[in-house]
Structure 1
Amino acid sequence: MDADPVTTNPEHYSVVFENDRVRVLEYIDAAGDKTTPHEHPDSVMITLSDFQRRLHAEGNFRDVDLPAGKAMWLAAQRHAGENIGETPTHVIFVELKDATREKSTSGWLGPAQLAP
């Protein structure tokens, strides 16, 4: 990945586990924090806190309001983000190493949907 979030935003992303199949990242920020553009491969995102974020990509943005305790699919994408809520964001990403690293053609930004 040429825009690895651990490299582009090391104050927010850290590697908590890695092997030849997956890489697990922890993301933590505070209200008002922003990230620079970075890329995610196909991943599973697990929310550990309730949060509100604005995701920016290619001149567009999408606001997401997510509850704690959800696991969601995150298609490969490049974006920047900002915490637009009043609470910290705390998330785990399980990145799939054998998944495509190409940008999603779906045009969807952020997680695909909330799990029931």
Structure 2
Amino acid sequence: MGSTDPVDTNPDSYAVVFENDRVRVLEYRDVPGHRSVPHEHPDSVMVTLSSFRRRLSAGDRQVDVELPGGAVRWLGAQGHSGENTGDTETHCLFVELKEPAPVPREGAPPLGPSDAAARV
């Protein structure tokens, strides 16, 4: 099975802009109509640098996300693909945590970003 790292699966959209032993920061850019291929994110903080509208899909689940520029959201570890369903470019940063994730709770994790604080 190949890599599920977004930098490998979607090199036209994701770029590493900073990395050390504790975090990795990815910059993401796309244009209206762009579709990403499936990839995975560890627990991350997402910072939107532009307003955008997207549809995220994982298996039979889908969620539509619309966020303003300047939003900061928690993104729990997840795998998904995405589509820019809006009429603006998407530009955001992901601050990926490298520390081990806490023990998962029962049930499917949320798909997409959340404004809820991370629970430990």
After TM superposition, the score normalised by the length of structure 2 is 0.88
- For residues 15-30 of structure 1, what are the structure 2 equivalents within 5 Å? 15-30=16-31
**Paired AA for residue 63 in structure 1:** D
Percent same amino acid among aligned pairs?
57
Q: Please name the residue that 2:63 is paired with.
A: 62
Structure 2 contact 33–86 (Cα < 8 Å) conserved: yes
Q: Please name the residue that 1:94 is paired with.
A: 95
Q: CA RMSD in A?
A: 2.3
Give the deviation of 1:101 after TM superposition: 9.4
Distance in structure 1 (CA, Å) of the matches to 2:104 and 2:68 = 26
Distance in structure 1 (CA, Å) of the matches to 2:37 and 2:102 = 19
After TM superposition, the score normalised by the length of structure 1 is 0.91
Distance in structure 2 (CA, Å) of the matches to 1:10 and 1:61 = 23
Give the deviation of 1:107 after TM superposition: 3.1
CA, structure 1 residues 103+6, in 2 after alignment: closer, same or farther (shift >3 Å)?
Answer: farther
SS class of match (1:27): strand
**Paired AA for residue 32 in structure 1:** G
Provide, for residues 33-78 of structure 1, a one-character-per-residue CA deviation record: whole Å limited to 9, x for no partner: 0000000000000000000000000111100000000111100000
SS class of match (2:64): strand
Where do 5+ consecutive residues of structure 2 fail to align? Answer: none
Distance in structure 1 (CA, Å) of the matches to 2:42 and 2:108 = 14
CA, structure 1 residues 15+31, in 2 after alignment: closer, same or farther (shift >3 Å)?
Answer: same
Which ranges of 4 or more aligned residues in structure 1 deviate by more than 4 Å? Answer: 101-106
CA, structure 1 residues 103+9, in 2 after alignment: closer, same or farther (shift >3 Å)?
Answer: farther
